[in-house]
Amino acid sequence: MIYRFGGYTLDPSTYDLQYGGESIPVEPQVFGVLAYLIENHDRAVSRDELIDAVWQGRIVSDATLSSRISAARTAVGDTGRDQNIIRTIPRRGFRFVAAVSIDEAIGKPNAGAPQAPQTIRYCTTADNVQLAYSFAGTGPTLLKVANWLNHLEFDWISPMWAPLFHEFIGYRQLLRYDSRGVGLSDWDVGDITFDLVVDDLEAVIDASGTETFALLGVSQGAAIAIDYAARHPERVTHLILWGGFARGRRQRGSPEDRAESEAFITLMRQGWGKETSPFRQMFASLYLPDANDEQIKWWTDMQRIATSPENAVHLREVIDDLAVTDDLGKVQTPTLILHSEREAVAPLSEARFMAARIPNAKFVALDSANHLVVHQEPAWRRAVDVIKAFLASTP
């Protein structure tokens, strides 16, 4: 369903809140509160019911719930004093009181899509950030490291990720997570650094109870995977680096790379998540020049669904400044490196840089211009088959 009230539109299927055609970035728990209240606008919703629906039974303080209600009101132009949209019902809970019209989500890209075959759980880091992680499939564990833009639920119905995930769960248990500031994990996290996103991976590993696993690092997730594998060779059975790099754009010693980093971040600050911004199309053209229209739409939609503009910029700065060059020679795990030959985001030279320094790494160049190879490309099937054969090999 698509819900309309005042000048607002809320689409739970794509995690989209808009006003006047422009998307409004909303933290996942705040969106969850807003969506649940509007879906049940014909009645009052108790605090316990709201907590159970949005936090899935986790213990939540009154202060946490109050802050999310307040943020939901702010997102839709309401206040605690006026309560024209979300009203507090004394001793009963809350009710969405604005007039609501409902449209069927006919023709949406995910209309009729099956539910994601996964179980979502939460854990808490040492600095008190809540992280969402999920399991799907059976067999030895393949842990996908979080990259820049993820969303545990949205990715399962995305034409970008879903085909790959369905391949994996045919022979592996797939463990994924959203890092701090992204997806279903906490967005309001203060500082974001490379060390902290590495800590996020470690927190998920500890919470999941997984002892040994294959590790998949896509794009900047490769650097996190390299860092972990170098320090924990006894736990990582296979290391797969796809479209990755060990040096961020500002760490490659090129004035051109540094200038490109600054220009990209400037455009992000101005246009992230905005429907009318030329940055949305530029973003897709850079990462996926050979994708189809549906894939490009989903890729650009990730801007507003995955994170806030502020977090996106912070994460991009972390990515452009990362450097795990000293860890490459310490990797003892069997390693597979896959990389698109003609992509513009992470040059092929950076993949070769890693392959020359990780002992006995296997390198496979893919005939593609896309940063993330899409499933209609012959290179996608080749990559999937190579990964399956690599994981079947004995370390």
202-223: pLDDT as tens digits: 999 999 999 999 999 999 999 9
Find out whether 295 and 374 touch, Cβ atoms under 8 Å.
Answer: yes
For 362, residues 6+ apart whose C-beta sits below 8 A from its C-beta are 334, 335, 336, 337, 390
- CA 49 to CA 20: how far, in whole Å? 31
Q: Averaged over 317-324, what is the pLDDT?
A: 94
The β-bridge relationship of strands 213-218 and 2-5 is unpaired
**Residue that is written with structure tokens 């059976």 in the block:** 138
**What pTM value is reported for the model?**
0.78
- CA 75 to CA 35: how far, in whole Å? 12
What pLDDT is recorded for position 191? 85
- Number of H helices and number of E strands within the chain? 12, 15
Find out whether 222 and 198 touch, Cβ atoms under 8 Å.
Answer: no
Flag whether pLDDT at 106 surpasses 50. Answer: no
Secondary structure class of 84 (helix, strand, coil): coil
**DSSP letter (8 states) at residue 204:** H
**Cα–Cα nearest to 148, from 374, 307, 284, 370:** 307
Number of alpha carbons in the 13 Å side-chain half-sphere of residue 348: 12
Q: Averaged over 227-248, what is the pLDDT?
A: 97
Question: Quick one: how far is CA 32 from the chain centroid?
Answer: 17
What pLDDT is recorded for position 22? 76
- Give the tens place of pLDDT for each residue, 150-168: 999 889 888 889 899 999 9
**Cα–Cα nearest to 316, from 244, 249, 223:** 249
Phi, psi (rounded to 5 degrees) for 150: -135, 160
- Average pLDDT over the chain reads 89
Secondary structure class of 75 (helix, strand, coil): helix
